[in-house]
Amino acid sequence: MSADDARLALAAEALSPIDGRYRLSDPELFEQVSAFLSEEAFVRYLLRVEVALTRALSRRGLCDQSVADEIADAAQRVTPQAVWKEEQVTQHNIRALVNVLQREVSERARPIVHLTASSYDAMDTARALQFQDSAREVVVPALKELAAVWIEIARREAGTIQAGRTHGQHAVPITFGFALAGHVSRLGEPIEALERRAGRLVGKMSGAVGAYNAGSLFFDDPVAFEAEALAELGLKAADHSTQIVPAEYLLDYLHTAVSALGVLASAADDIRHLQRTEIAEVGEAFDERQVGSSTMPHKRNPWNFEHVKSLWKTFMPRMATVYMDQLSEHQRDLTNSASGRFYGEIVFGLAAAARRMTRVCKRLVVDRERMRKNFELTRETVIAEPLYILLAAAGHPDAHEAVRTLTLRAERERSTVRALLAEDAQLRPYLERLSPQQRRVLEDPSLYVGRAKERALAVCELWSVRLGLAGAGR
């Protein structure tokens, strides 16, 4: 890392992740994520790796336990600022860290610092720890909290009738709980995948090209030594590394993070549209002094949901860069040396979106009466689907065309399908074959919700259990 990059690191610590606005808008999240993914945190993770290495070396007899303990104590005194200052001299971040750490220990301990390791033994291992810890402590809990809020609303509104919508048009009815349960299901899968893929992130201690060249000078089993050193950190090694760990482990984790962010954006978009003036089925509860528009005092803009979509628009395209970083020439090149430093911002974006969605959904107001009124707008056309299906099942040779013609006639005559159906002698023999329950659906289209309520409750129960949220919304 150059001196300019060192100065950039200092700036990044002041602003990272994303920008300083998050210190104000969500200072708690900023501090949480910075503890794992900031430049300062990265230096501290590097020091943890160096300490784990020396502990493994002491167990193999290359130094006394007291030396390993001395290095561990010294690592607590090393500051990121001292490392960045040294880097301006060395023009190399890991050599700078090693130099500063060596100055903090006795002469007998200095040769043991970083012994057998390469720069990316430390860096890729530290990075794996960063993303594992931030997933476990910040990202997954934030997503689970959101899932719990959605489950609570979905259970409460499991029977609330709502017009289904396809292509922006009213379709057959569902319930609002069923609609929200769909987002619960879509979010549950990436939450589980994030936990799984974070747990599979790997480190390395196999040297400059991954062939254990340095380690083999001291150990007959350098692969086993690598496993011992990584076990100190709770990590495993990849089956094969070069100077770097295989890119796919972190790539898959970040891909899943962006996928989860897409689920949040999709839900935000749906809820935002339900707040349109002409729909007005849900709304965000506004504080007494909250302003919706700078010039129109009456407005209540759904800006929080729009903000979530905006975060998705910001970070989704960054996956293209992550995929480009999948390629590294032969055993290693440095074409990801700049781009790779911004991966943490993808994680921050997901956590920020999840927390914002949680806050606003906790305040979501559901207008059940408006949902029913909107359904009533097209309730008389809803029976077209069950009517066509029931007529076909009753033996009508061209049921779809018969019902299509009936709907056109109802529109032309400003009547209803049900009214015309009662007068249609040709269809009467088929209608007489229907069961009482089937007839009730044609008489009351609000009954034509299938198993929307049951499926909403079942999906909520499923994901409450799978995500360890049992009892959410009960």
Q: Which of 74-78, 264-268, 290-294, 370-374 has the lowest mean pLDDT?
A: 290-294
Rounded to an integer, what is the distance from CA 107 to the centroid of its chain?
Answer: 48
Residue 435: both structure tokens together: 């069961």
- Given the DSSP bridges, would you call strands 236-237 and 282-284 parallel, antiparallel or unpaired? unpaired
The DSSP result for 66-119, as a single string, is HHHHHHHHHHHH--HHHHHHHHHHHS-HHHHHHHHHHHTS-TTTGGGTTTT--H
Cα separation, 242 vs 265, whole angstroms: 37
Report the C-alpha gap between 457 and 459 in whole angstroms: 6
Q: pLDDT tens digit string along 59-115? A: 999 999 999 999 999 999 999 999 999 999 999 999 999 999 999 999 999 999 999
Active-site hit among 2, 66, 106, 293: 293
DSSP E strands in 376-452: the ranges are none
Of the two residues 27 and 190, the one the predictor is more confident about is 190
- Of 167, 294, 298, 435, which residue is the catalytic one? 167
- 17 or 65, which is more confident? 65
Q: What would the pLDDT profile of 249-285 be if each residue is shown by its tens digit?
A: 999 999 999 999 999 999 999 999 999 999 999 998 7
Residue type at position 341: R
Domain residue spans of the chain: 3-287+295-373, 384-447
Q: What is the pLDDT of residue 288?
A: 54
Count of CB atoms situated within 10 Å of the CB of 445: 24
CA-to-CA distance for 2 and 14, rounded, in angstroms? Answer: 19
pLDDT at 473: 65
Looking at residue 329, its amino acid is: E
Determine whether 435 is an active site residue: no
Q: What is the mean pLDDT of the chain?
A: 92
SS3 assignment, position 94: helix
Superfamily of domain 3-287+295-373: Fumarase/aspartase (Central domain) (1.20.200.10)
The SS3 call for residue 423 is helix
Tens digit of each residue's pLDDT (9 = 90 or more) over 408-443:
999 999 999 989 998 899 999 999 999 999 999 999
What does the pLDDT read at residue 44? 97
For residue 300, pLDDT over 80 is answered with no
Strand, helix or coil for residue 165: strand
- Based on the residue annotation, tell me whether 183 is a catalytic residue of this protein: no
DSSP strand pairing (236-237 vs 161-166): unpaired
Among candidate residues 367, 361, 365, 366, the one with its CA nearest the CA of residue 304: 361
For residue 135, give every residue at least 6 positions away whose Cβ sits within 8 Å of its Cβ, in sequence order, or none. Answer: 194, 195, 198, 253, 347
> Quick one: pLDDT at residue 302?
83
